[in-house]
Amino acid sequence: MDDGASGEREGRAARLNPALLRRLLRARDRIDAASHEPWSVSRLAEVSGVSKGHFARCFKAAFGIPPHRYVLSRRIERAKALLRDTEVSVTDVAFRTGWNSLGTFTRVFRDIVEESPAAFRRQARATPADLQGVPHCFVIAACRPDLTIAVSEKRRRRDANTLDL
């Protein structure tokens, strides 16, 4: 079932110039290749060859989320993989995935994943999954956090639901 918002987004993306879409994909590929780097809208717009405002609007129209949320989702995705698959400390995971502060990393990770990095690591190791036969791209897509709304908005919704109980 297709809701109106996704249909509208697909319509806007379809109206984008193919050359602009290629430039947006180039920016997204740069994020994917180095999500730990500081990707400001200005820097991404420069990669795409458009203004900051135009880049932000077109990126959201093409991919469904603003550029900053896309960067966050890629960083959290990488952090989850490091926590699950390595013995690297939580602090090192935070810095390797582009965070300047352990506190900020932990807060954002908890807001998105709904558990602390240490709790996520314990849970992931307690229930190991046999993913040998699953293509890597499917595993990554399944583990990608859903950031269609702002992190602070998620926190407000969760807090409101807690108060209702």
Helices within 16-150 (DSSP H only): 18-33, 41-48, 52-63, 67-85, 90-96, 102-113, 117-126, 136-143
Which of 64, 84, 106 marks a domain boundary?
A: 64
**pTM higher than 0.95 for the full model?**
no
Please check whether residues 84 and 49 belong to one and the same domain. Answer: no
What pLDDT band is residue 147 in, cutting at 50, 70 and 90?
low
Please check whether residues 25 and 86 belong to one and the same domain. Answer: no
Please check whether residues 128 and 47 belong to one and the same domain. Answer: no
List the single range of 30-34, 116-120, 123-127 with lowest mean pLDDT.
Answer: 123-127
Please check whether residues 41 and 78 belong to one and the same domain. Answer: no
- Residue 1 predicted with pLDDT over 50: no
Please check whether residues 52 and 88 belong to one and the same domain. Answer: no
Domain housing 58:
4-64
Please check whether residues 59 and 80 belong to one and the same domain. Answer: no
- Residue 161 predicted with pLDDT over 80: no
What pLDDT band is residue 117 in, cutting at 50, 70 and 90?
very high
Please check whether residues 44 and 80 belong to one and the same domain. Answer: no
Q: What is the pLDDT of the chain when averaged over all its residues?
A: 81
Helices within 16-66 (DSSP H only): 18-33, 41-48, 52-63
Give the contacts of 128 (CB within 8 A, at least 6 positions apart).
Answer: none
CATH of the domain at 116: 1.10.10.60
Which of 45, 64, 83 marks a domain boundary?
A: 64
Please check whether residues 31 and 87 belong to one and the same domain. Answer: no
Please check whether residues 47 and 128 belong to one and the same domain. Answer: no
